[in-house]
Structure 1
Amino acid sequence: MSENKLQKSIIRTARIEDSAALLDIQREVVAEGQYFISVSEEFNKTVEEQLEWVKNTLENERETLLVAEVNGEIIGWICFNTQNRKRLSHTGSLGIMVKKEMRNAGIGRLLLEELLIWAKKNPFIEKVSLAVFATNTRAITLYKSLGFVEEGRKVKEYKLNDHEYLDDILMCIFV
């Protein structure tokens, strides 16, 4: 993607009507088999379930869902979700997905920067966390460049086959 196209991208709060497009991107990322815990055959989320999740996220003042759009097409999204527990009310975790053909163009960075701006303005949020496969070095480099630090590692957390495992790296930033 050229610099010119990137300049025409917008980051905005998701809308209910974006649900199907968000699900399509999630299905694409799951099908790649590299960056998501679920594998294709176990990922069966329906449009109705996605719609309900989007609605609930947007209605929660401690959560957000942002989309990246280029020429009217949603090409990526980032969510920040919390748990409904008092002792965890100051923190939450993010998930981010960008269409494969749009990666390495700065879209992930734009989404993360906008999320961090939102988190800093949110009076409830103090800590933004994430988990990332240890093999996802591009993502880890991006997170570190924005100030995230590794706070833990779950060794051999994911079993890919009888002889291959992946560590899960836990990262955070205080806002």
Structure 2
Amino acid sequence: MSSATIRLAKINDAARMLEIQKDVITEDQYLMTTFDEFNQTLEGKKVWIEEKLINEYETILVAEIDNSVVGWLVFRSPNRKRIAHTGTFGMMIDKQYRGQGLGKQLLQGLLKWAKENPLIEKVCLGVFSTNENAIALYKKMGFIEEGRKINEIKLSDNEYVDDVLMYQFVK
């Protein structure tokens, strides 16, 4: 198990975060976005990070080992008054660092932030039903399956997977 420093993202993390994102998208396994749809630029990533960091309902955390970002997590909250107490997260970890506890460390950082944030009450996520390692981690961290969108994700002709919806109350 690797021990990482979990911290708020900085604008100068954008290049490394973008590199990890491109690599994960290229794997074409567990993300909604396909590589041909992905068009994020370095400047766009910098603006995106800045927007998240100034929004009190949202955050971005990075996992850093030896002064290098090896994974990151973003928590987004909807821009609607009645559901602003909730939010969803997504996480990406550099392939060579997976299975070493970094996802758990990022999730612990997120849950700590959410519990300390008076605006956030419920942390949610959606995960491909085929992503068994992620589902096991989320359950271990106290997330509960709330439902499924059956055959929500079309991988190819006649190949579908469910979108598993999970949550955890932090208040």
CA–CA distance in 1 between the matches of 2:74 and 2:33? 17
CA–CA distance in 1 between the matches of 2:14 and 2:149? 32
Q: CA deviation at 1:56?
A: 0.3
Q: CA deviation at 1:42?
A: 1.1
Deviations 1:47-84 (A, max 9, x none): 11111110000001111100000001100001111111
Aligned ranges for residues 139-154 of structure 1 at < 5 Å?
A: 139-154=134-149
- The SS at the match of 2:154 is strand
Matched length? 170
Deviations 1:8-53 (A, max 9, x none): x211110011111111111110000001111111111111111111
CA–CA distance in 2 between the matches of 1:169 and 1:27? 24
Partner residue of 1:127? 122
> Does 2:32 correspond to 1:37?
yes
Q: CA deviation at 1:88?
A: 1.0
Between the two proteins, what is the percent identity of the paired residues? 51
TM-score (norm 2): 0.97
Counterpart amino acid of residue 22 in structure 2: R
Q: Alignment partner for residue 24 of structure 1, among 14, 19, 25?
A: 19
Aligned ranges for residues 102-113 of structure 1 at < 5 Å?
A: 102-113=97-108
Gaps of 5+ in 2: none
Q: Which runs of 4+ in 1 moved over 3 A?
A: none
Counterpart amino acid of residue 46 in structure 2: L
Partner residue of 2:110? 115
TM-score (norm 1): 0.95
Q: CA deviation at 1:135?
A: 0.2
CA–CA distance in 2 between the matches of 1:163 and 1:10? 42
CA–CA distance in 2 between the matches of 1:163 and 1:80? 32
Q: CA deviation at 1:163?
A: 1.6
- Root mean square deviation, CA, Å: 0.8
Partner residue of 2:9? 14
> Does 2:52 correspond to 1:57?
yes
> Does 2:94 correspond to 1:99?
yes
Partner residue of 1:90? 85
CA–CA distance in 2 between the matches of 1:21 and 1:29? 12
CA–CA distance in 1 between the matches of 2:17 and 2:25? 12
CA–CA distance in 2 between the matches of 1:83 and 1:159? 25
- The SS at the match of 2:130 is coil
